[in-house]
Amino acid sequence: MSNPRPLHPIKQKLTPLGQLDECIRQTLERGGPDKQSALIYLELRHLHPGHYRDHLLECLTSRLLPLLRPADHIFQLDSHSVGLLLGQLNGTSHALLAAHRAKTLLHDVSSDELKLYPQIGIAMAPEHGRDGEALIDAAKIAAHQFAEEHIGVYDPDRDWLGQQLVRLEQPLRNALYDNRFHLAFQPQIAPASGAVSGVEVLLRWEDELLGSISPYEIISVADYLGLMDQLTHWVIQTGLRNFSQLRLAGYQGTLSINLAPNNLRDPHLAGFIGNAMAVWGIPAELVTFEITESAVIEEFELSLKHLQQIKQMGCKLALDDFGTGYSSLAYLKRLPIDELKIDRSFVMQLAESAEDRAIVESVITLAHRLQLMVTGEGVEQAAELALLQQYGCDQIQGYYYSRPLKLADLLTFLAKPR
């Protein structure tokens, strides 16, 4: 039998994750009634081009080691995050000092070293939990929801996501397992002819006990639970199956499907899409996948690679909610997109706001010069429609024409003369 491969020197410094609960118990016992412990969560959300996760985690861990006292621990939580368990603290302010020290160790380095900017969240024990699962969840929520300058402290009074997890986690898992979701389809209209040129797939969930659950709640909880890829696969598979029914009924337009940020980290996404299109006999050029800028910029190079794989299959790509991001123009020239969707926040005030009219007209002009199609979202009034037509907008989506429809109602809508 061959000898086992030796651990990397940095990994030898890590405490096994399976010992977290016992370490928390011991840390609390040593602390006494006037001391607290803290779980500090550090997540590398923005990967650096040309660097692998393993290398970044090694850099992260090695720089944090000087922060640890003999009774403290560092754990690798997953492929892109670590946790520090610190005991004998005087309270939240003491934990914040440690978090700021960690932040300094990670990015105040020489010019030839890699600067790291993780999201950092703090959960206090026993106030926010006495076991690893509770403390990791609280610290992770703090990092994602409450962070200012990359550091957040868990606050149960502000924890919307935590409340939704308590309410929705098991029902959502059950709904996914039992296939209780359904899709709605919002028509997209070519304003010159009034014809339905496309439909966008929208996820819907009506629970028997909880009632109607908003898509934002579904996606937030599914994303946190690591179920987003599974949920997106269901949407793609079901959407393409319904699309095949629409095509059999004579529909000749396109289908648009939204992708979530974490979907763009899935190395198997393009393969799944290709297989699903083959199963349902859907030509790739009739399917558009919508992304938001925020979905791309977290790990731009990785996202770009997966988007190019989808594009190479023949599918189209649309940049959704255009105008609401911070760096849209900087990324626009690098993304392999075919369509811009102007966010409804600019459309809804078109008739009243000269500034919004100037922005929308300029965006449409720019997009057309880049050979991109433009869709105006959230159109509800005739005045908005008239201005978008005047500016040359290619496609209109919104309640002015139709709310999202179930498949049977969409077939009826398509059959109506225009």
Counting Cα atoms < 13 Å in the Cβ hemisphere of 172 gives 25
Picking from 90, 123, 158, the residue at the C-terminal end of a domain is 158
Question: Are residues 147 and 251 both part of a single domain?
Answer: no
When divided into structural domains, the chain yields a total of 2
| Mean pLDDT over each residue of the chain, to the nearest integer | 89
Q: What is the mean pLDDT of residues 254-279?
A: 94
Q: Structure pTM?
A: 0.76
Q: Which pair of tokens denotes residue 411? A: 């077939």
For the segment 69-94, what is each residue's pLDDT rounded down to a tens digit? Answer: 999 999 999 878 899 999 999 999 99
Q: What is the mean pLDDT of residues 382-388?
A: 96
DSSP classification of residue 405: B
Q: What is the mean pLDDT of residues 135-153?
A: 88
Q: Which pair of tokens denotes residue 334? A: 């690098």
State the residue for tokens 């754990």: 75
Question: Are residues 176 and 57 both part of a single domain?
Answer: no
Question: Are residues 278 and 372 both part of a single domain?
Answer: yes
For the segment 287-327, what is each residue's pLDDT rounded down to a tens digit? Answer: 999 998 777 776 778 888 999 999 999 999 999 988 776 55
Q: What is the mean pLDDT of residues 210-214?
A: 92
Q: How far is CA 100 from CA 104, 120, 153, in A?
A: 6, 9, 12
Distance CA 259, CA 287 (A): 13
Start-to-end C-alpha separation, the chain: 76
Q: How far is CA 236 from CA 81, 276, 312, in A?
A: 29, 8, 18
For the segment 167-197, what is each residue's pLDDT rounded down to a tens digit? Answer: 999 999 999 999 999 999 999 999 988 999 9
Name which residue leads in pLDDT, 364 or 329.
Answer: 364
Distance CA 279, CA 240 (A): 9
Given this model, what pLDDT does residue 147 score?
80
Q: Which pair of tokens denotes residue 23? A: 């370490």
Taking alpha carbons only, the member of 395, 384, 377 closest to residue 189 is 395
| CATH number of the structural domain spanning residue 202 | 3.20.20.450
Q: What is the mean pLDDT of residues 243-268?
A: 93
Picking from 128, 158, 188, the residue at the C-terminal end of a domain is 158
Given this model, what pLDDT does residue 205 score?
96
Residue 2, in any domain of the structure: no
Q: What are phi and psi of 41, to 5 degrees?
A: -100, 130
Given this model, what pLDDT does residue 204 score?
96
Q: What is the mean pLDDT of residues 260-270?
A: 89
Residue 182, in any domain of the structure: yes
Contact criterion met (CB below 8 Å) for 276 and 315: no
For the segment 96-114, what is each residue's pLDDT rounded down to a tens digit? Answer: 999 999 999 998 887 777 7
Residue 364, in any domain of the structure: yes
Residue 177 in 3-state DSSP?
A: helix
Counting Cα atoms < 13 Å in the Cβ hemisphere of 98 gives 31
Owning domain of residue 26: 11-158
Picking from 112, 130, 158, the residue at the C-terminal end of a domain is 158
Given this model, what pLDDT does residue 290 score?
96
Q: What is the mean pLDDT of residues 235-242?
A: 98
Q: Parallel, antiparallel, or unpaired for β 373-376 and 395-397?
A: parallel
Distance CA 37, CA 150 (A): 21
Question: Are residues 260 and 377 both part of a single domain?
Answer: yes
pLDDT at 9 > cutoff 80 = no
With residue 220 as reference, give the H or E element that holds it.
helix 215-224
Given this model, what pLDDT does residue 10 score?
57
% of the chain beyond a pLDDT of 90: 67
Contact criterion met (CB below 8 Å) for 71 and 85: no
Question: Are residues 289 and 387 both part of a single domain?
Answer: yes
Residue 138 in 3-state DSSP?
A: helix
Given this model, what pLDDT does residue 218 score?
94
Residue 328, in any domain of the structure: yes
Residue 1, in any domain of the structure: no
Residue 406, in any domain of the structure: yes
Question: Are residues 224 and 301 both part of a single domain?
Answer: yes
Question: Are residues 125 and 197 both part of a single domain?
Answer: no
Question: Are residues 82 and 200 both part of a single domain?
Answer: no
User: CA-based diameter of the chain, in Å?
Assistant: 78
Question: Are residues 299 and 322 both part of a single domain?
Answer: yes
Residue 50, in any domain of the structure: yes
User: Model confidence at 50, in pLDDT bands (50, 70, 90)?
Assistant: very low
Q: How far is CA 249 from CA 208, 278, 280, 404, 414, in A?
A: 32, 19, 15, 19, 9
DSSP 349-370: TTTT-HHHHHHHHHHHHHHHHT
- Secondary structure E strands in 175-220: 182-189, 196-207, 211-213
User: Model confidence at 384, in pLDDT bands (50, 70, 90)?
Assistant: very high
Please list, in sequence order, all residues whose beta carbon lies within 8 angstroms of the beta carbon of residue 391, skipping any fewer than 6 positions away: 360, 361, 364, 365
Question: Are residues 62 and 205 both part of a single domain?
Answer: no
Question: Are residues 98 and 196 both part of a single domain?
Answer: no
Counting Cα atoms < 13 Å in the Cβ hemisphere of 224 gives 25
pLDDT at 261 > cutoff 90 = no
Given this model, what pLDDT does residue 79 score?
77
Degrees, nearest 5: CA angle 167-169-174: 115
For the segment 349-374, what is each residue's pLDDT rounded down to a tens digit? Answer: 898 999 999 999 999 999 999 999 99
| CATH number of the structural domain spanning residue 32 | 3.30.70.270
Q: Which of 29-33, 327-331, 401-405 has the lowest mean pLDDT?
A: 327-331
Given this model, what pLDDT does residue 59 score?
86
Question: Are residues 78 and 180 both part of a single domain?
Answer: no
Residue 6, in any domain of the structure: no
